């Protein structure tokens, strides 16, 4: 009897939920050893992915074939569909056809096919070699709500080796997310090789020890921590992402969150205020007072850094941070005050705006766009810049009303480092309680925006800051299953938050947990953490009450 490990019913057990499903019907569609794979021009990446995943999972050779033949998995482009939209048709008389408006649409259709084939499709080798796999006869029409469906991965606070990043890309693709925002630099580490400035990784790439838990915790991990990605590592990550139709957006943080860079090159700091040669890579968490000096030398240094970044990342956007930049050193610095006077700036906020505007122009001259955290609104928003609205909705609302593009990622709603439950056994509890249901009811477009202003909301992003996520298992626990709910918010055209059918979502999640199990994801179970997922005695910083809607 063929493996029929399927989860059909309303919605087909699919996450994110598709626009429409016609079926499933009783007729079975079988994929077996004789099933051919017909890939029209423009669908080659998806064909390669199907052979590497479904072929491996079920032991199917999927040899090349003709789209007109029976027992065929056929891939094609259909310009009548939206670029990321797709149509999947499974019929017993000929097999499976996936058409996409563009190559990405075909790929997302293939992801849906994988889900339809059950959790075995998410394994790397067949559990029952030689047995056919079946799916029901149906037709699915689908396409995303937002163009930017992202997750931030912070590899600066705790380094994630390259294989972990590639695994993360596979998990994003499985949820139809298409942006990986890679936070590469911070006070606690510099994670990308810059050939012109080798000390950035030789010195800035590791710290002597690490605070365990919240910064108020008395505990320390006394092991040195570090790591970085070489140019070839980055090229591999970017190429792997591109095969999965994911854009990797690099973040090089300026002018705050820069102590690792200053530790490597002390001249970058405010040398007339502190002894920057005494600074080391920061070993604790919080907002750091050691920021970049607003000098021509600093500008040239980061231009050289960004030249190498642009060579490695084809992303149209480059994230420059711009958040949490304390102004006390600039207030005390004669050099900074002279720059303010020279430029006829009103204050230190305008000095930060000048800093960001410089790189906005520099990137624009090279055909790229600057994006930064919503602090870049202070002192005047750089022309052409886009905003990551993290402190709440307010920054995104202000930017969209001014005609600037926005990615909505308010910390009160979609910061995945925030705790998932109020129970005392939640590991290293940080921030507000954000349950799976809370994330499912997140709405990226605030009602204050008109229809025209809402077009500036490029999409949405969930952020995984890793101060208290010191390994892959901890990262898995914080991110999943909430990323599945976020993916549905970003992809599907859901009703208003209060009207969303969370019961249906949890029913579909019952199927999805089996897929995550097959992928080896150490998610938080619905009933709470497993014994080995707890971190007893490690201090967090829980915040009581409902998060503000700001």
Distance, in Å, from the CA atom of 322 to the CA atom of 94, rounded to the nearest integer, reads: 55
Q: Where are the beta strands (DSSP E) in 359-516?
A: 369-373, 386-389, 406-408, 430-431, 457-464
Residue 443 per-residue DSSP state = -
What does the CA dihedral 446, 370, 484, 43 come to, rounded to 10 degrees?
A: 120
Are the beta carbons of 158 and 191 closer than 8 angstroms?
Answer: no
Are the beta carbons of 187 and 288 closer than 8 angstroms?
Answer: yes
Which residues contact residue 344 at a Cβ distance below 8 angstroms, ignoring those fewer than 6 apart?
none
Per annotation, catalytic residue among 33, 308, 324, 378: 324
Annotated active-site residue 418? The verdict is: no
**Exposed e or buried b for every residue in 47-69, given b needs 16+ CB within 10 A?**
bebbbebbbebbbbebeebebee
Annotated active-site residue 78? The verdict is: no
Annotated active-site residue 404? The verdict is: no
Which residues contact residue 98 at a Cβ distance below 8 angstroms, ignoring those fewer than 6 apart?
46, 73, 74, 75, 76, 86, 87, 88, 89, 106, 109, 110, 113
Residue that has been written with the tokens 């005047």 in this structure: 380
The sheet carrying 72-77 orders its strands as 20-31, 133-142, 86-91, 95-100, 72-77, 36-39
Are the beta carbons of 87 and 99 closer than 8 angstroms?
Answer: yes
Residue 441 per-residue DSSP state = T
Per annotation, catalytic residue among 257, 418, 456, 512: 257
Strand 86-91 and strand 133-142: the pairing is: antiparallel
Please choose, from the candidates 164, 156, 153, the residue with its C-alpha nearest in 3D space to the C-alpha of residue 473: 164
Which pair of structure tokens corresponds to residue 377?
């609104």
Per annotation, catalytic residue among 45, 154, 186, 348: 186
What residues act catalytically? 186, 257, 324
């Amino acid at each position: 009897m063929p493996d029929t490990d399927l989860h059909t019913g309303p919605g087909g057990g699919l996450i994110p939920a598709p626009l429409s499903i016609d079926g499933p019907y009783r007729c079975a569609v079988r994929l077996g050893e004789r099933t051919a794979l017909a890939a029209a021009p423009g669908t080659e990446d998806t064909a390669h992915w199907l052979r590497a995943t479904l072929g491996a999972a079920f032991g199917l050779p999927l040899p090349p074939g003709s789209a007109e033949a029976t027992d065929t998995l056929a891939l094609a482009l259909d310009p009548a569909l939206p670029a990321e939209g797709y149509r999947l048709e499974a019929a017993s008389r000929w097999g499976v056809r996936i058409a996409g408006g563009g190559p990405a649409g075909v790929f997302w259709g293939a992801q849906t096919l994988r889900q339809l084939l059950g959790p075995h499709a998410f394994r790397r080798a067949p559990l029952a070699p030689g047995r056919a796999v079946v799916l029901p006869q149906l037709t699915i029409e689908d396409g995303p709500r937002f163009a930017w469906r992202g997750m931030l991965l912070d590899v600066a606070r705790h380094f994630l080796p390259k294989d972990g990043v590639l695994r993360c890309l596979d998990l994003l693709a499985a949820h139809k997310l298409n942006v990986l925002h890679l936070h590469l630099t911070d006070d606690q580490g510099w994670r990308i090789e810059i050939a012109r400035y080798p000390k950035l990784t030789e010195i800035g790439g590791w710290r002597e020890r690490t605070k365990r838990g919240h910064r108020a915790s008395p505990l320390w991990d006394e092991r040195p921590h570090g790591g970085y990605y070489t140019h070839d590592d980055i090229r591999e990550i970017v190429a792997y992402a591109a095969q999965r139709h994911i854009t990797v957006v690099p973040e090089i943080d300026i002018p705050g969150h820069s102590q690792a860079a200053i530790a490597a090159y002390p001249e970058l700091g405010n040398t007339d205020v502190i002894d920057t040669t005494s600074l080391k890579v920061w070993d604790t968490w919080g907002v750091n007072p050691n920021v970049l000096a607003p000098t021509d030398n600093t500008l040239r240094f980061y231009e050289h850094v960004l030249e190498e970044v642009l060579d490695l990342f084809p992303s149209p956007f480059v994230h420059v941070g711009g958040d949490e930049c304390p102004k006390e050193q600039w207030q005390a610095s004669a050099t900074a005050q002279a720059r303010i006077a020279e430029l006829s700036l009103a204050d230190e906020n305008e000095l930060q705006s000048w800093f960001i505007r410089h790189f906005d122009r520099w990137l624009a001259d090279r055909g790229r766009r600057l994006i930064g955290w919503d602090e870049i609104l202070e002192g005047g928003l750089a022309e052409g810049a886009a905003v990551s609205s993290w402190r709440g909705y307010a920054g995104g609302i202000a930017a969209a009303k001014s005609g600037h593009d926005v990615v909505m990622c308010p910390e009160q709603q979609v910061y995945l480092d925030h705790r998932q439950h109020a129970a005392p056994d939640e590991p290293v509890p940080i921030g507000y309680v954000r349950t799976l249901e809370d994330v499912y009811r997140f709405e990226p477009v605030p009602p204050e925006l008109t229809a025209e202003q809402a077009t500036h909301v490029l999409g949405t992003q969930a952020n995984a800051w890793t101060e208290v996520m010191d390994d892959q298992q901890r990262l898995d626990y914080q991110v999943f299953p909430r990323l599945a709910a976020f993916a549905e918010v970003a992809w599907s055209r859901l009703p208003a938050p209060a009207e969303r059918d969370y019961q249906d979502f949890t029913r579909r999640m019952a199927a999805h947990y089996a897929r995550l199990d097959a992928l080896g994801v150490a998610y938080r179970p619905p009933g709470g953490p497993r014994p080995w997922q707890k971190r007893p005695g490690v201090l967090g910083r829980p915040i009581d009450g409902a998060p503000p809607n700001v």
